[in-house]
Amino acid sequence: MPGMWRSPPRVTRTARGQAVFLLRASLIVLLLLWPRPSAGKKKLYIGALFPMSGGWPGGQACMPSAQMALDLVNNRSDILPDYELELIHYDSMVSACGGESEEVRT
């Protein structure tokens, strides 16, 4: 009978982008929580997503500042003396124009 079969809804690039973001964020959380053998100072991992490429690579200015802050803390013996901070970063490839341009038009 005509009209009874409907095609599945199209997945927009925005939805795919959100799925990829969630996958990346989950991976970072997994890396942060993964048990590691301890020797000497315990490592504390700080996860961050920086837009290093894409339409707006603003992370190129932000990531060095974050690393500098971690280095300053690591070089002080009175702040977190038994720990060493380590930055885990990933390129989020954010576009400056937002999700509107990513939509697939039907």
Domain ranges within the chain, ordered by starting residue:
13-34+42-96
Q: What is the mean pLDDT of residues 71-98?
A: 86
* Amino acid 38: pLDDT: 55
* Amino acid 12: pLDDT: 56
Confidence band, pLDDT 50/70/90 cuts, at residue 9: low
Radius of gyration for the chain, computed over Cα atoms and rounded to the nearest angstrom: 20
pTM over 0.75: no
pLDDT at position 85 over 80? yes
Looking at the DSSP bridge assignments, the partners of residue 48 are: 89
- Quote the CA–CA distance of 45 and 100 in Å, as a whole number: 34
Please report, rounded to a whole number, the percentage of residues in the chain having pLDDT higher than 70.
71
* Amino acid 99: pLDDT: 52
